[in-house]
Structure 1
Amino acid sequence: MRSSSAFLPCGPLWTRPLLHRLLSEFWANGCSASPRCLSTNGPTLHPVIGESSVELLGHSYPRDDFTNVTPKILSKVGYHLHNQPYHPLWLIKERIKTEVTLCSPHSLLIPPEHPSRKRGDNYYLNRTTMLRAHTSAHQTELVRSGLDAFLLAGDVYRRDEIDASHYPVFHQMEGVRLFSNHELFSQVQSGEDLSLFERGGRRTAQKQETHTLEAVKLVEFDLKLTLTRLVTHLFGSGEVRWVDCYFPFTHPSFEMEVLFQGDWMEVLGCGVMEQELLDSAGAGNKLGWAFGLGLERLAMILYGIPDIRLFWSRDERFLRQFRVEDIQQHVCFQPLSKYPPLHNDISFWLPDPEARGPDRENFSENDFYELVRAVGGDLVEKVTLVDDFTHPKTGRRSHCYRIVYRHMERTLTQQEVRQVHDQIERAAETELGVQGRY
């Protein structure tokens, strides 16, 4: 079981401008205290976003026009909730480990223009270094080290919408299993006549060009059997279905969905590893599968946790519910007192793309969500676009968003919320170039 660094290098990417001042101003105004370190791996050094560099975990990264990471995101680096004994993410990780017994971004074939590397969806320290967006980024290095089978867990970072099931920091677990020719075919009749690879093959929807169809079908069967057993172990007996999908580092690729409370819910992605990855990692004589799942999503369902922000709570009423004698013990989360929400709307005209000039970005919803997070932090429960209006004569567009505020541990006053909301309004005009309608 491995855990790893939260940031990684990436190749050249297209240039887009940066909202520099937002980073420095909110660090100076809102993050003067050193964050508490909850890591089992020792203290986390105080992250600093300076005028010309980002200081993180003892390293300095020069700032450039791609830097978009915020102080609130950096303050989460190093907590390692999945390694905190009896935290719900630790429990779900340990339960997966007991069931999945494995016997003995450029690194994953993701091109620079791929959506998974878009600046608007990720956190960049600078043009060449980003906070990782998935734990799959470390598969190649572990295969290169000689491992044929492993589980890997870690924290990942993505810019995303704001609601009860999305948070800019969450935790993933990856599993990889590789097979030699003998391992895969030893239990098959006349298996000595079969091979993992073929020459002159072609890529189809069912296989890669270098793989034999019989090898892929056996690997696919082993993968789906392993994951079906895992989900049955976690959720109990239930209906499972497989959906074909696309990932740049597996082919064929699948998503597993389980029937939960009457709805089909996607719980993980998986597939047969791209042979080019294994070749580059020195395992070109083997064929393998890989899967990845989100720990928060499984924990929210298994334990009935309604809001993803609760995983970051230090409230003993939350944490003590998961201190169990046996990790397999059933836990049904008992809600804390539900403090009332307060909601305020913000409406503004979007900037005219033709009038913004070459050094300014077009408006992006993720930029607005990130601004709201930078100002409001975990006081913000949800942000919803409630109106998208286009003026019939001028053609100008306006958005109206409803921001729901709720503290996890006490009742907020309208005065407190109004102060935060005013800051969001001012920052939106200054940093995003919108024109307020309030």
Structure 2
Amino acid sequence: MIFWRLSKRIQLRPVKLCLAGVVRSSFRSHRGLTSQAITSELPTGGAPGGSLDVLGKSYPRDDHSNVPGKILSKVGKNLHNRKHHPLWLVLERVKHHFYQQYVGPFGTPLFSVFDGLSPVVSTWQNFDSLLIPEDHPSRKKGDNYYLNRTHMLRSHTSAHQWNLIRAGLNAFLVVGDVYRRDQIDSHHYPVFHQLEGVRLFNKHQLFGDIKDGEPLQLFEHSSRSSHKQETHTLEAVKLVEFDLKQTLTKLVTHLFGEGLEIRWVDCYFPFTHPSFEMEINFQGEWIEVLGCGIMEQQLVNSAGAQNNIGWAFGLGLERLAMILYKIPDIRLFWSEDERFLKQFCVPNINQDVHFQPLSKYPALVNDISFWLPPQNYSENDFYDLVRTIGGDLVEKVDLIDKFEHPKTQRISHCYRITYRHMEKTLTQEEVMHIHRSVQARAVQLLGVEGRF
């Protein structure tokens, strides 16, 4: 499920939502950083012509293409399927819970699991199939990675909902890497992993156990302006909402233990109504862990399941793992450092893991100031450029000052970039190599005027 605000509020204060392989370009513990290594990672998109090759398929570039090489290098890594990785551990716990709790009439698991669907989807799958309007801010080029105008790296696993319902499935989980352009800090990363759940009910499934339930209906019909409208009955909504909240309460309790304090917050998503977010009280702090809701009937009908009503939820695996295992930095999920990975090689997936922090190497901080161009400047473009050049050596980027010239009305931004290697001490010479490249490329690619 999409739940856009999840990624925007992933302060795991840490923490809606909210990552996939091996970091190659920046976790170089025994090699220096050279200009050649930096320039080889420049963005591949931006202008028509040529093509992008992803997972064995070629996509023609156009004016919407904006996927950097560093992002493309992470496609297909599938950290959630890497045995004994912390994301794999969380996913296995979720899968086993659903397998044990929800069984079909013949003793087989009720929920099908899809954990290998391609992250390349059409823009129709990612947005239109989910009733997301053309002017919705979630479609912005500045927030997504587009291969071209018709294809993109999915921004949520909800992009597969319509197709799976159309295929006749009525209970399924979808897991995979998703991609969003976002700010840079220890709890945000442009690639993360989502788990999506969908369940549909027909009249018999919903009302079959209710005494004298035969007269109860899933839908009621009304006529407005000569157009017939189909809406859920109050009884159906109450039953589906109860099942949804009960299902998710059981799941979160399974992960975090009994006695967990939970609260539900009303919210809005384009393809569910009503919609909710779940927050848990974790060590005295309320943290949002997932979003959910009753699916809009228009979506269900268009996928060919007209006689059903259903719910959907979405959560981020990184967020759950960071809370469960107290992992302080999202970049660690990409580390090849055995000191990190071996901590999760446990014989039982439900075994508690008390993450032992790696040595904290010192940070180096550099500021960059520039005048913005008159138009077409996006902060996410700058963050993407910094990630592309600095990779995972960049711990965070903070906008620390905005200034508007009183006479010219030109606007200046000053950003503070914190560099820190997860596995060794950086030198100022190495960092300045990267920082000067950021300055030069910001001028060249973003049209800013440097105040260096």
Alignment of structure 1 residues 337-352 onto 2, 5 Å: 337-352=359-374
Alpha carbons of 1:341 and 1:138: their partners in 2 closer, same or farther (altered >3 Å)?
Answer: same
SS at match of 2:397: strand
Equivalence for 1:395: 409
Q: Give the AA of the match of 1:260.
A: F
Q: Is the counterpart of residue 249 in structure 1 residue 266 in structure 2?
A: no
Equivalent position to 2:296, from 247, 250, 274: 274
Q: Contact 2:38 / 2:389 at 8 angstroms: preserved in 1?
A: no
1:351 Cα deviation after fit = 1.4
Equivalent position to 2:247, from 226, 241, 244: 226
Q: Is the counterpart of residue 118 in structure 1 residue 140 in structure 2?
A: yes
The aligned length equals 386
Equivalence for 2:395: 381
Q: Which moved more, 1:67-76 or 1:108-117?
A: 108-117
SS at match of 1:90: helix
Distance 1:113 1:50 in 2: 24
Equivalent position to 1:192, from 198, 203, 214: 214
Unpaired runs of at least 5, structure 1: 1-24, 33-46, 203-207, 354-361
Identity of aligned residues (%): 68
1:51 Cα deviation after fit = 5.2
1:294 Cα deviation after fit = 0.4
Equivalence for 1:65: 63
Q: Contact 1:152 / 1:174 at 8 angstroms: preserved in 2?
A: yes
Equivalent position to 2:231, from 188, 210, 214: 210
Normalising by structure 2, what TM-score? Answer: 0.82
Q: Contact 1:27 / 1:71 at 8 angstroms: preserved in 2?
A: no
Alpha carbons of 1:191 and 1:333: their partners in 2 closer, same or farther (altered >3 Å)?
Answer: same
Distance 2:439 2:283 in 1: 39
Deviations 1:34-81 (A, max 9, x none): xxxxxxxxxxxxx9x995111111111111111101000000000000
Alignment of structure 1 residues 213-362 onto 2, 5 Å: 213-236=234-257, 237-353=259-375, 362=376
Unpaired runs of at least 5, structure 2: 1-34, 105-109, 111-125
Distance 2:169 2:336 in 1: 37
Distance 1:188 1:57 in 2: 49
Q: Give the AA of the match of 1:134.
A: H
SS at match of 2:323: helix
Q: Give the AA of the match of 1:68.
A: N
Q: Give the AA of the match of 2:335.
A: S
Q: Give the AA of the match of 1:433.
A: G
Equivalence for 1:29: 39
Equivalence for 1:6: none
Equivalent position to 1:364, from 370, 374, 378: 378
Q: Contact 2:173 / 2:196 at 8 angstroms: preserved in 1?
A: yes
Q: Contact 1:201 / 1:210 at 8 angstroms: preserved in 2?
A: no
1:393 Cα deviation after fit = 2.6
Distance 1:386 1:73 in 2: 27
1:172 Cα deviation after fit = 0.2
1:115 Cα deviation after fit = 1.5
1:28 Cα deviation after fit = 8.9
Q: Is the counterpart of residue 424 in structure 1 residue 438 in structure 2?
A: yes
Equivalence for 1:153: 175
Normalising by structure 1, what TM-score? Answer: 0.85
Distance 2:38 2:399 in 1: 30
Q: Give the AA of the match of 1:136.
A: S
Equivalence for 2:84: 86
Distance 2:243 2:194 in 1: 22
Alpha carbons of 1:417 and 1:164: their partners in 2 closer, same or farther (altered >3 Å)?
Answer: same
Equivalence for 2:159: 137
Runs of 4+ in 1 over 4 A off after TM superposition: 25-28
1:30 Cα deviation after fit = 2.4
Deviations 1:296-352 (A, max 9, x none): 001000000000000000111111100111100000110011111111000111112
Distance 1:329 1:129 in 2: 41
Structure of higher RCO (CA pairs closer than 8 Å, 6+ residues apart): 2
Deviations 1:244-280 (A, max 9, x none): 1111111111111111222211111100011111112
Distance 2:397 2:196 in 1: 30
Q: Contact 2:92 / 2:349 at 8 angstroms: preserved in 1?
A: yes
Alpha carbons of 1:127 and 1:95: their partners in 2 closer, same or farther (altered >3 Å)?
Answer: same
Alignment of structure 1 residues 2-17 onto 2, 5 Å: none
Equivalence for 1:15: none
Distance 1:26 1:397 in 2: 33
Distance 2:41 2:432 in 1: 20
Equivalence for 1:128: 150
Distance 1:59 1:228 in 2: 41
Q: Is the counterpart of residue 404 in structure 1 residue 418 in structure 2?
A: yes
